[in-house]
């Protein structure tokens, strides 16, 4: 069966520090991969998605970047965090066949101080 | 572009009472429709989905949803709410069989009173 792993679960980082959040999927190949952010009261904001290795689509211009170095690995990064980067970050994957919904990871709570 | 509206930000339901959460979408053709649930501090879990066929779909945890094309709606229902159903619920839409992304509503927070 397919599983998605996202870590760390919580993170407290000072302003100006770098960020790296990792997401991996097991049990499938060539998934679509996604990074979302939830800020309080603002719903789900799509940040990046990828339909293949090295292919990244950015939905929102911001202080963050994403990479997909391997088929089932998706990394969210920042060189210098801002206070506004605080939030709940969710990774998700989707199979490429018809009828797939997203499967979400358990999320990372990032607090920038 | 497609959009999803969940008109209720918060809903309070007594335990044992019935529940209906509203979802309306904006798209010309029949979209792919989903309902997700999120408990505090957790990821989202898929409750049910609709692609085609029977407009009443059954999901996990006793939930069901009905697709009404004429109203562009996909409302979520449960006949008897349990305290453990308290969570945030998200409706989402994907467009086209090869949709790359889902568009999510802003969510409805369900509170269950004893």
Which residue segment(s) compose the domain that B57 sits in? 3-113
Kindly list the averaged pLDDT for each block of 10 residues, start to end, along chain B of length 114: 90 97 86 92 92 90 95 96 96 77 92 95
The count of domains in chain B is 1
Question: Which one of A32, A56, A102 makes the best mutation probe of the B interface by having the most chain B beta carbons within 10 Å?
Answer: A102
Q: How many CB atoms lie within 10 A of CB A97?
A: 8
The CATH number of residue A93's host domain is 2.60.40.10
Q: A8 lies in which domain range? A: 3-112
Predicted local distance difference test score (pLDDT) of residue B96: 66
- Chain B residues touching residue A39 (CB < 8 angstroms): none
**What is the C-alpha separation between A58 and A52, in angstroms, rounded?**
14
Contacts of A109 in chain B (CB under 8 A): 41
CA distance B73 to chain A (A): 18
Give the residues of chain A that fall short of pLDDT 50: none
Q: Count of domains in chain A?
A: 1
Instruction: List, for residues A77-106, the tens digit of each pLDDT value.
Output: 999 999 999 999 999 999 876 667 889 999
- Taking CB atoms within 8 Å and a gap of at least 24, the contacts of A37-41 are A37/A87, A37/A88, A37/A89, A37/A90, A38/A87, A38/A88, A38/A89, A38/A90, A39/A86, A39/A87, A39/A88, A40/A87
d(CA A62, CA A10): 21
User: What does the alpha-carbon distance between residue A21 and residue B107 come to, in Å, rounded to a whole number?
Assistant: 25
CB < 8 Å to B105, chain A: 43
């Amino acid at each position: 069966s397919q599983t998605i792993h996202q870590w760390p679960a919580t993170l407290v980082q000072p302003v100006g520090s770098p960020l790296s959040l990792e997401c991996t999927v097991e049990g499938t190949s060539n998934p679509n991969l996604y990074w979302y952010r939830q800020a309080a009261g603002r719903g789900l904001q799509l940040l990046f998605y990828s339909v293949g290795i090295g292919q990244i689509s950015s939905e929102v211009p911001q202080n963050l970047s994403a990479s997909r170095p391997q088929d089932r690995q998706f990394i969210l990064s920042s060189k210098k965090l801002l206070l506004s980067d605080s939030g709940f970050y969710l990774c998700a994957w989707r199979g490429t066949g018809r009828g797939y919904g997203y499967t979400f990871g358990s999320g990372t709570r990032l607090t920038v101080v | 572009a497609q959009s999803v509206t969940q008109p209720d930000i918060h809903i309070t339901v007594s335990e044992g009472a019935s529940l209906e959460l509203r979802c309306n979408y904006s798209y010309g053709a029949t979209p792919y429709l989903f309902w997700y649930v999120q408990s505090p501090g957790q990821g989202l879990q898929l409750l049910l989905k609709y692609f085609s066929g029977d407009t009443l779909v059954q999901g996990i945890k006793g939930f069901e949803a009905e697709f009404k094309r004429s109203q562009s709606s996909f409302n979520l229902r449960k006949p008897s709410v349990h305290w453990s159903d308290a969570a945030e619920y998200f409706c989402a839409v994907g467009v086209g069989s090869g949709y790359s992304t889902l568009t999510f509503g802003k969510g409805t927070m369900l509170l269950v009173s004893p």
